[in-house]
């Protein structure tokens, strides 16, 4: 086998050559970002060379810098100590990992506090780190860019809620539009006098002002921020949702209202434990859900999606060229994974060409999933054969991938399961199959069995591995093999071809040509 990565082959359709071979992309292979928020301080080190951000390192410290800011005008003293300790640690880690530097940004609490500048000066003196204090407009822009990192073609309204502020931004055609900021962060709302009634009145008035600035927003609502993610976990708990992956989790406005009622009538500590939400985050959920209730009532979005990408990912996006931004994050991440982990890097492209005659009428949204599955078909080969199918499914359904709905995760996972095993019944993933209808389950099975058979025809990258032809109306499947591939078509290969034909409910015929 040729174990080299293909870098000089022709472009693969509309996706072009892999980005990770480009020197400009390799420069993003280690990018360290620190977000000094009103509630938490987090450092993320991205491995950005695959276009879809891989989290090489991720650590968060709950500091509550913004606690009590409305009353005192100063940063929370205890939170300030915690933040400084966290930044000292992060700087040391960056040095030990040979990072070229850390990009540090601070948001609402630091920009509003009377001692915010003093805090930044102290950070510089003790750690050497420069803290860039960004305003609300810039915070909204970076959050929106983070969403675009995961959804390159996304359109709608971004809502990023932090501890002391809430930002809204429009996105459309890969661009960030209008941006507004407000003081609707949970830590600020917690300080409002007069109880929940006064708080709700304040939220309503503020939200009406925001609508006046932005105008109607009836498209998708993207929620960014830890409080929204905590709310989504509680929504998953209420619904008994089988895939606990927050990124791209979808909710309707009706489901949001039902979950608010669910939270209100149940014991908060019990819900916190069942949904795996931290105590500090759960304490802010009641304030955040009042904001969310008014937000959906004001803007009436068509649906709601959770984004795990925000300011930090927006800073990574900031450093990408437009060519890099335009690439499909799923495909680039899959190609990177193949180059790094597959036994025969580059074979996924040939496998894709081999299986595509079975999916001639597939729409572009399905074609990209087929392409990703072919790229990923062999990346788990090191796993024990008894568990390889399950590991494939587990990896793809829970991986940190952008541009991938939950149902699409399950589609690729199910295809990869069938790449290694004919049957899928009786395993722990059965509840997840419900995210696909029966037709899509069958299509995933066909794809998996086609890859399972195609993997029997591994040859040199320049050799022809054979060709499939499928006649749906006649229910006929034909395999054309070159004479050079005849030794590869053994009893095991024949059994796998029969399994594929059975999945297609077709008769199969093998034609070997010299």
What CATH number does the domain containing 78 carry? 3.30.420.40
Tell me the C-alpha distance between 373 and 404, whole Å: 13
Query: DSSP strand E in 63-212: where?
Result: 102-106, 131-133, 156-161, 166-172, 175-182
* Per-position DSSP letters for 376-423, written without gaps between them: HTTTTTTS-TTTHHHHHHHHHHHS--SS--HHHHHHHHHHHHHHH-S-
Residues β-bridged to residue 133 = 106
Q: Quick one: 142 and 128 in the same domain?
A: no
Predicted pLDDT of residue 459: 65
One domain, residues 144 and 284: yes
Residue 87, H or E segment:
helix 77-96
Answer yes or no: is 494 within a domain: yes
Q: How far is CA 59 from the centre of its chain?
A: 18
Query: Of 401, 144, 406, which Cα lies nearest the Cα of 250?
Result: 406
Burial grade of 437 (CB within 10 A; 0-12, 13-18, 19 or more): exposed
- Indicate if 331 and 303 belong to the same structural domain: no
387, 509: one domain: yes
Rounded to whole angstroms, the Cα distance separating 310 from 317 reads 10
Same domain assignment for residues 297 and 372: no
Cα dist. 76→63, 83, 90, 355, 404 in Å? 9, 10, 20, 60, 39
Do 174 and 109 belong together in one domain?
Answer: no
Q: What is the domain count for the chain? A: 3
Instruction: Give the per-residue pLDDT at 31.
Output: 85
My answer on whether 299 and 424 are in the same domain is no
Write out the chain's pLDDT in tens, 514 residues: 333 333 344 444 544 555 445 555 555 568 899 999 999 999 999 875 557 778 889 999 999 999 999 899 999 999 999 999 999 999 999 999 988 889 999 999 999 999 999 999 999 999 999 999 999 999 999 999 999 998 888 899 999 999 999 999 999 988 999 999 999 999 999 989 999 999 999 999 999 999 999 998 889 999 999 999 999 999 999 999 999 999 999 999 999 999 999 999 999 999 999 999 999 999 999 999 999 999 999 999 999 999 999 999 998 888 888 888 888 889 988 988 898 899 989 899 999 999 999 999 999 999 999 999 999 999 999 999 888 889 999 999 988 777 889 999 999 999 999 999 988 877 788 999 999 999 999 999 999 999 999 999 876 666 677 899 999 999 999 999 988 888 899 999 999 999 999 999 999 999 998 6
DSSP label at 362?
-
In 3D space, the residue among 247, 239, 301, 326 whose CA is nearest the CA of residue 274 turns out to be 239
90 contacts: CB under 8 Å, gap ≥ 6 = 34, 43, 59, 102
Q: Is residue 416 part of a domain?
A: yes
Contact 214, 144 (CB under 8 A): no
Q: Would 370 be classed as within a structural domain?
A: yes
CA separation for the pair 465, 469 (Å, rounded): 14
Predicted pLDDT of residue 273: 97
Co-location of 383 and 396 in the same domain: yes
Q: Are 135 and 200 in contact (CB under 8 A)?
A: no
Maximum distance among all Cα pairs of the chain, rounded to whole angstroms: 86
- Domain stop point among 133, 161, 194: 133
> In this structure, what CATH number is given to the domain that contains residue 297?
3.30.420.150
Residue 121 shares a structural domain with residue 156: no
Q: Are residues 143 and 86 in the same domain?
A: no
Give, in order, the Cα–Cα distances in Å from 355 to each of 455, 483, 513.
11, 20, 19
How confident is the model at residue 5, as a pLDDT?
A: 37
Distance CA 491, CA 105 (A): 61
End-to-end CA distance of the chain, in Å?
A: 23
Residues 361, 460 within the same domain: yes
The domain in which residue 125 lies consists of: 29-133
Strand partners, 480: 467, 511
Q: What is the pLDDT of residues 151-184, one digit of tens each?
A: 888 899 999 999 999 999 999 988 999 999 999 9
Q: The CATH number of the domain where 376 resides is what?
A: 1.10.3210.10
Q: Is 153 found in the same domain as 41?
A: no
Burial class (CB in 10 A: 0-12, 13-18, 19+), 427: middle
Evaluate whether residue 457 is within a structural domain.
yes
Whether 112 is in a domain gets the answer yes
Domain end position, chosen among 313, 338, 354: 313
């Amino acid at each position: 086998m040729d174990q080299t990565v293909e870098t000089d082959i022709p472009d693969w359709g509309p996706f072009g050559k892999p980005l990770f071979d480009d020197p400009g992309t390799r420069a993003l292979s280690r990018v360290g970002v620190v977000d000094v928020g009103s509630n938490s301080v987090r450092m993320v080190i991205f491995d950005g060379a695959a276009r879809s951000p891989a989290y090489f390192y991720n650590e968060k410290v709950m500091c509550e810098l913004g606690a009590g800011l409305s009353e005192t005008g100063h940063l929370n003293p205890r939170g300030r100590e915690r933040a400084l300790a966290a930044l000292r640690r992060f700087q040391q880690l960056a040095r030990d990992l040979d990072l070229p530097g850390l990009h540090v940004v601070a948001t609402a609490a630091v920009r509003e506090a009377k001692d915010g500048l003093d805090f930044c000066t102290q950070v510089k003196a003790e750690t050497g780190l420069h803290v860039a204090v960004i305003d609300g407009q810039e915070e909204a822009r970076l959050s929106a860019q983070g969403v675009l990192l995961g959804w390159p073609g996304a359109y709608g309204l971004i809502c990023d809620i932090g501890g002391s502020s809430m930002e809204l931004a429009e996105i459309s055609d890969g661009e960030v539009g209008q941006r507004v900021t407000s003081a609707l962060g949970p830590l600020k709302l917690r300080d409002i006098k007069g109880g929940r009634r006064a708080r709700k009145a304040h939220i309503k008035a503020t939200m009406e002002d925001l609508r006046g600035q932005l105008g109607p927003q009836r498209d998708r609502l993207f929620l960014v921020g830890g409080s929204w993610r905590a709310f989504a976990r509680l929504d998953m708990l209420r619904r008994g949702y089988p895939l606990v992956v927050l990124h791209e989790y979808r909710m309707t406005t009706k489901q949001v209202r039902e979950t608010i009622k669910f939270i209100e009538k149940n014991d908060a500590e019990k819900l916190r434990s069942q949904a795996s939400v931290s105590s500090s985050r759960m304490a802010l959920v009641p304030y955040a859900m009042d904001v969310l209730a008014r937000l959906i009532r004001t803007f009436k979005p068509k649906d709601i999606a959770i984004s795990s990408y925000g300011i930090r990912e927006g800073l990574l996006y900031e450093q990408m060229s437009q060519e890099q931004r335009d690439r499909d994050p799923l495909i680039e991440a899959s190609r990177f994974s193949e180059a790094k982990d597959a036994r025969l890097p580059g074979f996924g492209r040939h496998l894709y060409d081999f299986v595509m005659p079975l999916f001639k009428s597939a729409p572009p949204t399905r074609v990209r999933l087929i392409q990703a599955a072919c790229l990923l078909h062999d990346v788990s080969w090191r796993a024990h054969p008894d568990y390889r199918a399950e590991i494939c499914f587990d990896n793809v359904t829970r991986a940190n991938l952008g541009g991938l709905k939950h149902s699409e995760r399950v589609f690729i996972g199910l295809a990869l399961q069938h790449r290694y095993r004919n049957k899928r019944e009786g395993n722990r993933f059965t509840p997840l199959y419900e995210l696909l209808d029966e037709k899509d389950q069958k299509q995933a099975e066909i794809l998996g069995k086609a890859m399972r058979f195609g993997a029997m025809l591994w040859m040199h990258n320049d050799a022809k591995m054979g060709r499939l032809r499928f006649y749906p109306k006649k229910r006929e499947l034909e395999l054309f093999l070159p004479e050079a591939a005849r030794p590869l078509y053994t009893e095991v290969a024949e059994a796998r071809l029969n399994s594929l034909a059975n999945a297609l409910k077709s008769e199969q015929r093998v034609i070997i040509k010299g």
